[in-house]
Amino acid sequence: MAAIDDALKNAQALLGTEVGVSNWITVDQPMIDTFADATHDTQWIHVDPDRAAAETPFGGTIAHGFLTLSLASRFAYDCFPMLPGQVMGINYGFNKLRFLSPVKSGSRLRGRFVLSEVTKRNETNLLRENALTIEIEGQDIPALVAQWLGLAVFA
């Protein structure tokens, strides 16, 4: 299976390097409210701007941590085109995930990926681990860091 072997060889050459930086996405109150409705997580720090401004140190609402995490898929689309011979990519989970900084409503986020590891699992699957950092524009401390696993599936 030449395509998967070529992809493995190419990926191994990139180990430890930054392999992608996504476009910025604005996390605004309508996005937060939609996520709250979809997940039934309507805690006031997310959906009540007046109360959040008065009762939190954030000056307003903050996004759900899982909303921030869910944007990783969008960031990956920006950074990882299909490889020659690849038919799909599958989210395989996380080895580590930490939420480091709250995301205030109106913030802009982007994903930064560093390839940590790649292994050939079988004749159709490459397992890639990327160090993912979701950055908040204008802040030194990111929203989250994670070790994200993905399968690249070949025909």
pTM: 0.93
**Which residues have a Cβ under 8 Å from the Cβ of 123 and sit 6 or more positions away?**
1, 4, 154
* % of the chain beyond a pLDDT of 90: 95
The C-alpha atoms of residue 86 and residue 152 are separated, in whole angstroms, by: 6
pLDDT surpasses 60 at 17: yes
Q: Rounded mean pLDDT of 106-128?
A: 97
% the chain with pLDDT above 70: 99
Q: Where are the domains of the chain?
A: 2-27+62-154
What CA–CA distances, in Å, run from 154 to 6, 86, 100, 118, 135? 11, 4, 35, 15, 31
CATH superfamily of 2-27+62-154: Hotdog Thioesterase (3.10.129.10)
Residue 153 has pLDDT above 80, yes or no: yes
The pLDDT assigned to 32 comes to 98
